[in-house]
Amino acid sequence: MKLKKLLPELASNLIDLGYEKAPREIQTLAIPKIKSGADLVLIAPDKNGKTNALLIGLIQQLKQPFEEAPRAIMIVSSREKAFEAEEQFQILAKGTKLRSFVAFDQGILQYQKDEIYDGLDILFVTPKRLTELVNINGVPMTKIKMLVVDDAIEFLRHSNHAILHRIADGIKNPQIILAANEWSNKFEDLEERLMKNPMIIEAE
């Protein structure tokens, strides 16, 4: 991973965390492609650095706070994983002032909507809660430029593809990234329906 090509704050945080000494293969392969704006499918085993690759790419693309509406949505399979991802995001984004929020099932819907409208750059959200928020116009979509799905196989296993279609159809040319621990034929529908010449990146 060429840290000198990353945001200074992000590069500094990665050095502090020791990333430059032993970057994971999926991070080395994926981060430059995320930076390029390409649609991607990332395939690598669990605990192999996929989520951090996504977060590093998100931070690099978002760079700094901008207006009030979110510019990225990262869909995760559970409340626990959403908070874990946001916690790691805050560590990696230290010094950038990027704003994040977690919306999850069983949380107070109106409170979460209000927090989103107060201003943020990235929303970490579970699939069911995202559907509920979209149904009440709880997520302004005018500035969304990145739509990321972690644990994509789990996401599709529960027939959540409809909300992804709905969001992607309503925004202009979003960068769409799927991450999973193995390939699924269900990705082909998303590739054909939503993604622009997606690249498949695999690592062991």
* Rg value, the chain, Cα: 16
Q: Regarding the domain with residue range 24-202, which homologous superfamily does it belong to in the CATH classification?
A: P-loop containing nucleotide triphosphate hydrolases (3.40.50.300)
pLDDT exceeds 80 at position 1:
no
pLDDT of residue 115: 96
**CB 141, CB 72: distance < 8 Å:** no
Query: Can you tell me the mean pLDDT for 52-70?
Result: 95
**CB 66, CB 121: distance < 8 Å:** yes
Strands 175-180 and 146-149: parallel
pLDDT exceeds 90 at position 170:
no
pLDDT of residue 72: 97
Rounded to the nearest 5 degrees, what angle is found at the Cα of 25, between the Cα atoms of 64 and 177?
50
Confidence of residue 159 (pLDDT cuts 50, 70, 90): confident
pTM of the model: 0.95
Query: Can you tell me the mean pLDDT for 106-134?
Result: 96
Mean pLDDT of the chain: 93
Confidence of residue 161 (pLDDT cuts 50, 70, 90): confident
Closest CA to 113 of 127, 98, 101: 101
pLDDT per residue over 6-28, tens digit each? Answer: 999 999 999 999 887 778 899 99
What are the sequence ranges of the domains in the chain? 24-202
pLDDT of residue 28: 92
Angle between helices 50-62 and 25-36 (to 10 degrees): 30
pLDDT of residue 39: 97
pLDDT of residue 160: 84
- DSSP label at residue 143: T
pLDDT per residue over 77-108, tens digit each? Answer: 999 999 999 999 999 999 999 999 999 998 99
